[in-house]
A and B are shown apart, each in its own frame.
Chain A
Amino acid sequence: MIHLLYKDLYLTRKTILLYLLIGLLLQFNPSMTPIFIFFITYGVLAKTELTEEKYEGYTLLSTLPVSKSTLVISKYLLGLLIVGLATTYTLILQLWINNLSGIAVSTILGIAAATLIVNGFLLLLSYKYGATRAITYFRIIVLSLFLIPWLLQISLGLPGEELILWASSLQASVMTILILSLIAYGVLMLISINTFKKRMS
């Protein structure tokens, strides 16, 4: 398992370094900070899945003495690792640059929880449809998620302030959201193992 994780980190090392640099710059604008956690996780997972597709990596890995479940679990662990590192990186930089005054810790953790679920879904799509198609579908879905609240606000006349208040109220129970997101991430991983096994048979 550890070799698979190391291989993915090595193959995406340039992507990680690039995102860490962008993340550093984003810290000076606290409202943009949480986006970093999402984008570095998406960037690393998308890059590793595209690499596996390009070089038929899963075929090579499946001939090694490693189970199909382990291959999928290693990708989900990679996602968890990147979210954890990106969140820690963000918290440390915010503490150093803004003394954690620019953005609430609960907001950062809430974004980390959402990132886990959304990227767990990206991996599931990748095992179902292959990396290239999965990334296209994923972009459409994520864009829709950003667009739907905005369209609702425009078409139904919902006041923007109420939406922000509702979102803020969620932050109060951020630990619950974190735990729920980990459970959802685990469920997505189990579905992905099943999907991958079917795809490889």
Chain B
Amino acid sequence: MNNVFELRNVYKSFNDFHLEDISLHLPRGYILGLLGPNGAGKSTTIKLLLNLLEPDSGEIQVLGSSYAHSETLIKQKIGYVGENQNFYQDLTIDWTVNFISRFYRTWNQEKLNDMLTNFGLKRQKQLKDLSKGQKVLFNISLALAHEPELLILDEPTSGLDPIARKEIMDILLDMLQDENKAILFSSHITEDVEQIADYVAIIIKGRLALFDTKEAILDGFRKVSIPKSTGKTLGSTLIANTQTLSEYKGMHSQPASLEEILISLVKEANR
């Protein structure tokens, strides 16, 4: 299978945090949702993928190349939308578009104009006058205008209202009409990831707790509860791995959501 990126046994150490032994990949034409609580290592993983950080050990391949040999070539094919919209706030939309477009060989100005119009973004407006949602939409417009093969989004929907979130989800799904493209989407809003992701990776305390297709993960866990008729109670609802479900005889089980699986894994990691 043709992967847009591969991380193999990546390790990155800081004074108070370690990202340990991360191995991930994403095939073309798919969306990978990166889940985890705040401070788990999602943004660090993304920074490593963008070469904003260098790993202490391990290997990172993006679009078939390594950053050591072809950093600018790789970045020509990546679109990035960060959690913080790092723009020069005193500049206008028009000026920023003009500046960013000069770095890319494949810049689709017509597509960008359409997106700005659809999002109601006025070109003469200064970036500091845009709302958070408008800044994200502007950032996504910029990231898509150079027709990237890999789109990386770090918590783009955090702090947005449901309408803006829905709009962003639709844009992402629309991008994947082209099967040559792929999306890495980090979030702590599990609902968004459950809605659009094909693959899911869960990072907790710098370790990769789970990585598989969304279906395999959802099939692999069940929400277990004791029937009231038994008179017994569980302290809380239990999320059980389906492989160990036979241990819970007499109990009811039903499908677990990604959020319930994530919470269960975080609790387990904190024990």
B100 in contact with A201 (CB, 8 Å): no
From A51, A63, A200, B88 is in contact (CB under 8 Å) with: A51
Q: How far is the CB of A116 from chain B (nearest CB, A)?
A: 27
B50 touches A (CB below 8 Å) = yes
Q: When the two chains form their complex, are residues A67 and B72 in contact, meaning their CB atoms are under 8 A apart?
A: yes
Please, which residue of chain A has its CB at the minimum distance from the CB of B102? A3
Contact with B along A12-56 (1 / 0, CB 8 A): 000000000000000000000000000000000000000100011
Inter-chain CA distance A59–B89, complex, in Å, is: 14
B87 within 8 A of A: yes
Give the Cβ gap from A32 to chain B, nearest Cβ, in Å. Answer: 32
CB < 8 Å: which of A57, A60, A65 contacts B75? Answer: A65
Q: How far is the CB of A177 from chain B (nearest CB, A)?
A: 37
User: Is A63 touching B103 in the complex (CB atoms < 8 A)?
Assistant: no
Interface string of B71-84 (1 = CB under 8 A from A): 11101101010101
Q: Nearest residue in A to B89 (C-beta to C-beta)? A: A55
Closest to A200 in B: B52
A residues less than 8 Å from B88 (CB atoms): 7, 11, 51, 55, 57
**A55 and B75 in contact, given A3-B99, A62-B52, A64-B103 (Cβ under 8 angstroms):** no
Q: Is B86's CB within 8 Å of the partner chain A? A: yes
Residues of A within 8 A of B52 (CB): 59, 62-63, 200
Residues in A with CB closer than 8 Å to B72 are: 65-67
Q: What's the Cα separation between A64 and B54 when bound, in Å?
A: 16
Q: Which chain A residues border B53 with CB–CB below 8 Å?
A: 200-201
- B73 and A65 contact, CB distance less than 8 A: yes
Chain B 43-70: CB-based contact to A (< 8 A → 1; otherwise 0): 0000000111110000000000000000
**Nearest CB of chain B from residue A58's CB, rounded to whole Å:** 9
> What is the minimal beta-carbon distance from A139 to any residue of chain B, in angstroms?
25
Instruction: Please determine whether A63 and B80 come into contact, CB atoms closer than 8 angstroms.
Output: yes
Residue of B nearest to A197 (CB): B54
**Are A56 and B99 in contact, CB atoms less than 8 angstroms apart?**
no
Residues from chain A with Cβ under 8 Å of B51 in the complex = 62
B contact residues around A51 at 8 Å (CB): 88
| Distance in Å: Cβ of A197 to nearest Cβ of chain B | 9
Q: How far is the CB of A159 from chain B (nearest CB, A)?
A: 51
CB distance from B12 to the nearest CB of A (A): 10
Across the two chains, which residue of chain A brings its CB closest to B79? A63
Contact check, A64 vs B84: say whether CB atoms are below 8 A apart: no
**Which one, B50, B86, B99, contacts A55 given CB within 8 A?**
B86
Known: A3-B102, A64-B100. A59 touches B86 (CB 8 A): yes
Residues of A within 8 A of B90 (CB): 11
Kindly report which residue of chain B lies nearest to residue A58, judged by CB atoms: B86
Closest to A70 in B: B72
Given A3-B102, A3-B103, A59-B52, also A65-B76 (CB < 8 A):
yes
* Cα A56 to Cα B71 with chains together (Å): 20
Complex: A59 Cα to B82 Cα, angstroms: 10
Rounded to whole angstroms, the CA-CA distance of A7 and B98 in the bound complex is 10
Q: Are A67 and B82 in contact (CB under 8 A)?
A: no
Min C-beta distance of B63 to chain A, whole Å: 12
**Which residues of chain A are near B73, meaning CB under 8 Å?**
65
Q: With A and B bound together, what is the CA distance between A56 and B85 in angstroms?
A: 9
Q: Closest CB-CB distance, A47 to chain B, in whole Å?
A: 12
- What are the 4 A-B residue pairs with the smallest beta carbon separation, nearest first? A65-B75, A201-B54, A60-B86, A56-B86
Q: Name 28 interchain pairs, CB-CB below 8 A, sorted by A.
A: A3-B102, A7-B88, A7-B99, A11-B90, A11-B91, A51-B88, A55-B86, A55-B87, A55-B88, A56-B84, A56-B86, A57-B86, A57-B88, A59-B82, A59-B86, A60-B86, A63-B50, A63-B80, A64-B75, A64-B100, A65-B72, A65-B75, A66-B72, A66-B75, A67-B71, A67-B72, A200-B52, A200-B53
